[in-house]
């Protein structure tokens, strides 16, 4: 935990590296320098920067792969999985087009909470141009061309890995992706996940949900022209290293399957 003037409630938390958002952000800054990526500070949330990382090709306007994690702070496997993937694939970051939001809720990660420092679940605020985090996020991604988007999460009710695919196309890529990741963690066997029909760890939507009180990141991305979004969930009761490995495998699998299609 940082000694540099952080708020009292943060200091009271157990000092576990998985929730050290400052360390995570610092690793991203070092990585971005090596991979010739730009780092933007979208906003500062309770003294912690919310950063966005753009590869050189993305900055030049080549249609990008969008990657994000850390929307929910109690899902550290997603944030560390994304960093681990990036550190393993510096060469791809140098060459390819990537827009990355490494940790959209750093205060939540520090506090190990789903919500941010305001008690807000930002995954219901992505439609809101006035929001502290989601407003700058909207201005960052507006007019950026995207090929597909991957939103990384974890689920404490999860019994295995699963994904939500939001895709207008007839073909689904979800089963192929889950199959490739299933050697790390088996698919969630539930047939109903959060009130939605699931099959072999895949929940598929071809139309946008309309019943939600506010917009999740994945829906907002889709509405802003990203043709395909996949939300991935690892089961947060499983051990952290295995969850991180599953997240890395998920990103690698999507890049293989979706980039080829």
Name 16's Cβ contacts closer than 8 Å, sequence gap at least 6: none
Identify the residue whose tokens are 């550290």.
Answer: 76
User: Residues interacting with Zn ion, by CB under 5 A?
Assistant: 72, 75, 153
Query: Which is closer to Zn ion, CB of 72 or CB of 89?
Result: 72
User: Closest approach of Cβ 75 to Zn ion, in Å?
Assistant: 5
User: Closest approach of Cβ 127 to Zn ion, in Å?
Assistant: 17
Query: Which is closer to Zn ion, CB of 68 or CB of 253?
Result: 68
Query: Which is closer to Zn ion, CB of 72 or CB of 117?
Result: 72
91's tokens: 């060469």
Bridge partners (DSSP) of residue 150 are 67, 230
Query: Which is closer to Zn ion, CB of 75 or CB of 220?
Result: 75
Q: What is the DSSP letter of 42?
A: E
Q: Return the C-alpha torsion angle 258, 90, 155, 193, nearest 10.
A: 0
User: Closest approach of Cβ 153 to Zn ion, in Å?
Assistant: 3
**CB contact at 8 A, 108 and 116:** yes
Percentages helix, strand, coil for the chain (3-state, rounded to 5) are 35, 25, 40
Helix (H) or strand (E) holding 228: strand 228-235
113's tokens: 């909470």
Query: Which is closer to Zn ion, CB of 54 or CB of 188?
Result: 188
Query: Which is closer to Zn ion, CB of 1 or CB of 71?
Result: 71
Query: How far apart, in whole angstroms, are the C-alpha atoms of residue 14 and residue 21?
Result: 13
Name 2's Cβ contacts closer than 8 Å, sequence gap at least 6: 20, 22
């Amino acid at each position: 935990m940082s000694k540099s003037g952080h708020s009292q409630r943060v200091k009271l938390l157990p000092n576990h590296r998985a929730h050290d958002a400052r360390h995570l952000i610092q690793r991203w800054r070092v990585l971005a320098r090596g991979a010739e990526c730009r780092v933007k500070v979208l906003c500062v949330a309770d003294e912690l920067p919310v950063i966005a990382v753009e590869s050189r090709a993305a900055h030049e306007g080549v249609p990008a792969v969008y990657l994000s994690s850390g929307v929910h702070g109690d899902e550290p496997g997603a944030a560390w999985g994304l960093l681990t993937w990036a550190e393993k694939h510096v060469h791809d970051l140098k060459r390819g087009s990537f827009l990355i939001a490494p940790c959209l809720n750093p205060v939540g990660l520090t506090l190990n909470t789903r919500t941010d420092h305001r008690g807000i679940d930002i995954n219901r605020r992505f439609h809101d141009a006035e929001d502290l985090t989601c407003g700058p996020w909207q201005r960052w991604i507006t007019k950026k061309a995207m090929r597909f988007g991957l939103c990384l999460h974890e689920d404490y009710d999860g019994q295995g890995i699963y994904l939500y695919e939001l895709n207008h196309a007839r073909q689904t890529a979800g089963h192929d992706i889950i199959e490739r990741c299933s050697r790390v963690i088996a698919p969630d066997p539930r047939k109903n996940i959060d009130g939605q029909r699931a099959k072999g760890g895949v929940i598929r939507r071809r139309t946008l949900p309309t019943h939600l009180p506010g917009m999740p990141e994945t829906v907002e991305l889709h509405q802003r022209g990203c043709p395909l979004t996949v939300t991935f969930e690892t089961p947060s009761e499983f051990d952290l290293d295995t969850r991180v490995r599953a997240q890395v495998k998920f990103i690698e699998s999507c890049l293989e399957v979706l980039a080829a299609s």
